[in-house]
Amino acid sequence: MFTLDADERAIGDTARQFADEFLAPNALEWDEHKHFPVDVLRKAGPVGFGGIYAREDVGGSALRRLDAVRIFEQLSTGCPAVAAYISIHNMAAWMIDAYGTEQQRHRWVPGMASMELLGSYALTEPGVGSDAAALSTKAVRDGDEYVLTGAKQFISGAGANDVYVMMVRTGGDGPRGISALIVPADTPGLTVGPNERKMGWNAQPTRQVVLDEARVPVANLLGAEGEGFSIAMNGLNGGRLNIAACSLGGAQAALDKTIGYLAERHAFGKPLARNEALQFELADMRTELEAARTLLWRAAAALDADAPDKVELCAMAKRFATDAGFEVANKALQLHGGYGYLHEYGLEKIVRDLRVHQILEGTNEIMRVVVARSLTGAA
């Protein structure tokens, strides 16, 4: 797992080259102007980043979760916000590939793998965050259609995407009443709210999705009625790993910037990099990232192997890596002094982007609950 072969190195190198060529040179401008770079996302598809772990017969790359976290770490060195959207898109594509009928797979996944079609994951609702099983968006069957009424909140890519994998309530209260639907973005009755004004992640839109008697064919049901919550949680296992990897990539970029800055910057007659106290800071930052990376790879391997402890390991890795990534980026900003606070140096953008990783895909408090329940057996 820890010694990469030639193919594994090539996968990481390809992702880093994409980040260096297409993401890093534009990241600050996209952030400043709140620009969603759809044209660049289209370029990611032919490289294999639109369906990283979707099957090959529908255009996917059929890679492992272990490969995926290495890809997302490298992409995030260029722009964590864009890399995180690609992760969300992949989660939606995988859910259709994993749980869809052959007709659904061949209808949607090839376009998503090429990124000609952009996908989003729609679970969260206004007033229903961590308690996802309490969602209230209703899907009432009417002949060969479901009639959807409700709203989804904090949906990445909304307004610029083509398809949602949406969790809706087709039955009674609780998780067993939830189903998963493929909802085209152009469905009549589906509208989106204004782009949210956010602390970070400005290079991808975040909007509310409103459903007012929107009609979706019953043929768009993923799996069976009542299986949506399980599908959603299985999707989140991989999403948590990917967002952890995005934190590592952003933090690694911040650390790399800091090493260069301290080597060039002089104070009290010598380069700052020769200051032992600052060297200790760098050593701790490097250690934290390596520890997080090791746990992340361990969790990804467990998910690939369908190991019994995969859920808790994904939760551990998400919590640890997103906390470590933010702390390293924040220290990097501090070590740049006043320059770290300036937009042009890129540190403050990384800090803003990584902060939300501790909240989404399940807050880090919820990750602790997941791990604690696995230890104690508490419901």
- Residues involved in catalysis: 361
pLDDT of residue 379: 64
Helix (H, G, I), strand (E, B) or coil at 273: helix
pLDDT of residue 318: 98
- pTM for the predicted model, two decimal places: 0.96
pLDDT tens per residue, range 5-50:
999 999 999 999 999 999 999 999 999 999 999 999 999 999 999 9
Cβ pair 139, 220 in contact under 8 A: no
pLDDT of residue 13: 97
pLDDT of residue 129: 77
pLDDT of residue 130: 81
Neighbouring residues of 165: CB distance < 8 A, sequence distance ≥ 6: 91, 92, 95, 96, 119, 120, 121, 122, 180, 181, 182, 183, 222, 235
Helix (H, G, I), strand (E, B) or coil at 314: helix
Q: Residues, the chain, total?
A: 379
Helix (H, G, I), strand (E, B) or coil at 120: strand
> Environment class of residue 317 by beta-carbon count within 10 Å: exposed (0-12), middle (13-18) or buried (19+)?
buried
Cβ pair 74, 8 in contact under 8 A: no
Long-range (24+ apart) CB contacts under 8 A made by 66-69 are: 66/1, 66/297, 66/300, 66/301, 66/304, 67/8, 67/11, 68/238, 68/241, 68/242, 68/245, 68/300, 69/241, 69/242, 69/244, 69/245, 69/296, 69/297, 69/300
Query: What is the distance between the alpha carbons of residues 282 and 105, in angstroms, rounded to a whole number?
Result: 47
pLDDT of residue 377: 85
Name which of 171, 198, 147 is nearest 36 in CA terms: 198
pLDDT tens per residue, range 319-356:
999 999 999 999 999 999 999 999 999 999 999 999 99
Name which of 24, 43, 59, 5 is nearest 252 in CA terms: 24
Give the residue ranges of DSSP H helices in the chain. Answer: 6-18, 27-33, 38-47, 65-76, 80-99, 102-114, 228-264, 276-304, 310-335, 347-355, 364-376
Neighbours of 176 (CB within 10 A): 15
Query: What is the distance between the alpha carbons of residues 252 and 246, in angstroms, rounded to a whole number?
Result: 10
Where residue 213 falls (left for φ over 0; alpha for ψ -120 to 50; beta otherwise) is left
pLDDT of residue 319: 98
Residue 51 DSSP class: S
pLDDT of residue 127: 84
The full 3-state SS of 122-188, as one line of letters, equals ECCECCECCCHHHCCCEEEEECCEEEEEEEEEEEECCCCCCEEEEEEECCCCCHHHEEEEEEECCCC
Q: Which residue positions in the chain have pLDDT lower than 50?
A: none
Cβ pair 82, 40 in contact under 8 A: yes
Neighbouring residues of 358: CB distance < 8 A, sequence distance ≥ 6: 322, 323, 326, 364
